[in-house]
Each structure stands twice: as C-alpha cells, then as structure tokens.
Amino acid sequence: MKKILICITGPTASGKTALAIKLALHYQTEIISFDSRQFYKELKIGTSPPSAEELQLVPHHFIFCRSVTEPYNAATYAAEAQKKINELFDVHNVVIMVGGSGLYLNAFLHGLDEMPEVLPDIRKDLQELFQRKGIGVLQQELEQKDPEYFHEVDINNPARLIRALEVIRSSGRKYSEFRKNKVHKTLPFQVVQFFLNPPRELLYARIDQRVDTMMQQGLLEEVRSLLPFKNYKTLDTVGYKELMEYLEGSCTLEQAVNKIKQHTRNYAKRQITWFKKNDSIHITDIEIKLNKILCLLQTCIY
C-alpha cells in the first residue's frame, strides 16, 4: 500500500486533538505533533496538550520532549520529524500529524527558504530598541515595512518581530518575500491535509471555556513555578506571559485572565489566516463524525 500522512491543522480549540486520536485509533497508528509549545515538558497546562488518558490511548511523538531551557527551531524539528516519520512508515501505512504551528509544518513538508545574512549590529540595535521602548515600536515598524507578514505573525512575540525586522533592515526587502516556500522538497508519501475551521462565535466560546478550565487545573501555580525561567523566549507564550505580569504586580488576576482569552482569540485568527492558504480540505463542523472524514480520505487517496 502507498504511505499516507494525514495532517490535521487549524486554530487552537478547534478540535484537532480529538480528531487526530479518532483517526489514529481507526488506522492503529501513531501521532506526531507540530505544536511548537507542546514540545516543552514544563508547560503541562497552558499549552493544552493531550491529556494523560489521551496519551495512553495513542502513542504521541514530540510532546513533552524538551525543556524550556533548550533552544529549538523549525529546521531542527523538520529533520527530527522526518527521521521519526521514516521509522513509523516502516511499520504503518498511515501516520497522523497534528498541531497549530504552521511554520513547523511547512518546514517539514516543504523545507525552509534561505534567508539573507543578518548584520550583528542590526540584531543588537533591535534588541536594545525593544528593551528601551517596548514591543509597540517593533509592531509599528513591521506593520509599516511588511504589512503582509504583520497580519500573519504573533505580534505579541518580540522574538518573531525582531527576526523579521533584522531581515528587513539587512536586505532592504520585505521579510514575507523570503517566505514563499521556494524550496521544493520531494516526499515519498502522499499528504492529505484537513483544516478545522469552526464558526468564529463557537470557536471563541470554546477558547474562553478552555482558559477557565486551565485556571481551574492550576495554570497560575504552574506559571509561578516557572518564574525562574521567565527570560527564556519559550515562556513568552500566551497564558504564561500574562500570568507572569500578574505575579509581578502589573495587573489584577481578572485582567490577566481576560488578556489570555483575548490574546488566544488573536492567535487563533492568525492561525486561520495561515492555514487558509494551504492546500487543505476545509471543515467547518466542529462535531464532524469520523465516518465522514474517512469517506473524504477515501476520495483523496484512491
């Protein structure tokens, strides 16, 4: 039989994990995650990883596999994921990939575009600018110089903003011009992508409920335990940075929780923008039945 990689994508809280597990159980196979925050073993609540019960149901890879103190990037992930998928295809005809980090999925499926060399002084200047004036000045410059990337990136992630601006300043060109997936990677298996895109009102309600549930599960205590690592860029993540602001006295707990909900909704919108451009089968029914997915797969594969 031909080898099939099924990729489940979509915004946070869209039901990706549940669908991936149903498919993995049906095909008696395993799951590879491309969620860039679920890699970290210290982030057990705020990244909404699969539950302990779900992890027991189906073997998962790239969940809790690194520490927040270990540097990791899309290129390294792509290489490691390729090795793991090769191993899995030795014993399975179908493998499932699931996650919400489009950059990591693209790095695996298509490879990474070459970027221009960045001058050290430019990186230093941008980091100093961020320290002196905050994230707003970075957001403003990126929106002015590359509005296309501005509307895709997590604008609350200073590392991403600085990365784009250092390329723009070094090359004199838009960062988005270098991100066109010009690398053509040949894959020895068929890829079928499903993009879960439920109605926006339902998605936002699920996001709000998820945040409330994480708080009940002890997210505040988890963040408190991570305060010694607050300067690692991995912790500049929705759910963690807002509660760190609360713990440092910058806002009330209610304000922090409301920020988490708002920033998660903003992140979901950026994920939707990213994945809409992929060659995917779009699914708007958040309660879609497994047999319908299997019928769609039959149509795609044969």
Confidence of residue 16 (pLDDT cuts 50, 70, 90): very high
Query: pTM for this one?
Result: 0.81
Largest interatomic CA distance in the chain: 59
For residue 186, give every residue at least 6 positions away whose Cβ sits within 8 Å of its Cβ, in sequence order, or none. Answer: none
Q: What is the pLDDT of residue 152?
A: 81
* Of the candidates 296, 237, 256, the residue with the CA atom closest to the CA atom of residue 229: 237
- What pLDDT, in 10s, does the model give residues 45-71? 999 999 999 999 999 999 999 999 988
Between CA 189 and CA 6 the distance in angstroms is 10
- What pLDDT, in 10s, does the model give residues 238-297? 999 999 999 999 999 999 999 999 999 999 998 998 888 777 788 887 777 788 888 888
- Per-domain boundaries in the chain: 4-112+181-301, 120-178
Between CA 157 and CA 33 the distance in angstroms is 21
Half-sphere exposure of 150 (CA within 13 A, CB side): 15
Listed in order, strand segments (DSSP E) in 110-177 are none
Element containing residue 77 per DSSP (H, E) = helix 74-89
Residue 21 pLDDT exceeds 70? yes
CATH numeric code, 120-178: 1.10.20.140
**What's the topology of domain 4-112+181-301?**
Rossmann fold (3.40.50)
